[in-house]
Amino acid sequence: MKKINNKDKYLKITNKTPIVALDEEFNLYYNLLSIKKLFIIKTYAFIKFFSAFVTIFFNFSRYCNFLKLKNIKKNKNLLILGGGPSLQKLINKKNYILKKNTDLMALSYFKRYGNIKLKPTYILSADPSFLGGGINNKFINKKNKEILNYLKKNNVKLFLPIEKSSYLKRYKLDINYFIARSSIFFLKNTNPMMSLSVANMSFFNALSIGLFMGYKKIYFLGLDNTYPRDVWVNKDNKLLNIERFANHYYLADQSKRYKSISDMYSEISTIFYSLNLYKKYKDKIFNLDDYSLTNTFKKKNFKDIFIFGSKAVKK
């Protein structure tokens, strides 16, 4: 039995727990201890950073529209919601609303992660397969159908990759396009006007865009980054980890993605490296999960941004 980060919850891991074999074509060999591999990563990041100029050239009008968002939210706060297990703390609350002058930015398929009683101001995804992106996959297509139905029923603005704008324009949705292509270890850029020098996660795009838009304070939940707690090897020497979400979890076989634990932890370390790039904003960014391994920012209480109980019902 493995203890979950919410302190009072437990995961029942037994021999009968199903193991999901992840896509072996999606290889992430991030051995940062290898000079050769690190050189390859930095070279690839260099190419991606400057290829962003080409992307901007062919999507200049959309890029200019993004620039108009600069400091338009100076009098508001922002909550960024991911799909991690700490989100369960919010799901368990009966009555709650966001405080006045607070926007909500939800990441990707947030409605799949639990019963969130909030309507987002924005949905953001850096995933090229979000809403299809020209990728033909049954599982992805099913998720995209769900999110399209949700978007049709709710007036939600989107932040999506400018690299996929030619495909995404067919949906005729309210979309702000941003540069999603990241270039980790090249420079230390956190400004969304160019390729970010971070790990390839939607959260970092959301954080940079929130800062770019001028929000006074930015809070986040469901971005626990607890991966290092959940890695082990079974008797067959298969590399496994728990993939946690707010209302479910499963065992993932990582053996075909990574050659060794070293490779896996090298990739995990890039997340914490990326978080440290935002340390200069630690007086503006706050973590709502007490047990998150993200220790770059101060931990805050839900009451800083939510109204609960009868007061929320009256509102």
CA distance 260 to 256: 10
Beta strands in 38-121 (DSSP E): 77-81, 96-98, 102-107
What average pLDDT does the segment 252-261 reach?
82
pLDDT, one tens digit per residue, over 64-114 is 999 999 999 999 999 999 878 888 888 888 888 999 999 999 997 665 555
* CB of 264 closer than 8 Å to CB of 239: yes
At 252, is the secondary structure helix, strand, or coil? strand
Token pair of 7 as six digits = 């302190």
Which residue type is seen at 75? N
CA dist 173 and 175 (Å) reads 6
pTM of the model: 0.85
pLDDT tens, position by position, 272-299: 999 999 999 999 999 999 888 888 999 9
User: Six-digit token pair at 172?
Assistant: 């005729």
The percent of residues in the chain predicted with pLDDT above 90, rounded, is 43
Where b means 16+ CB within 10 Å and e means fewer, 253-273 reads bbbebbeeeebbbbbbebbeb
Angle, helices 35-58/60-67, rounded to nearest 10 degrees = 100
Q: Which amino acid is at 35?
A: I
Helix (H) or strand (E) holding 266: helix 261-276
Q: Which residues are 177's β-sheet partners? A: 160
Domains of the chain, CATH where assigned: 2-314 (3.90.1480)
Element (DSSP H or E) covering residue 65? helix 60-67
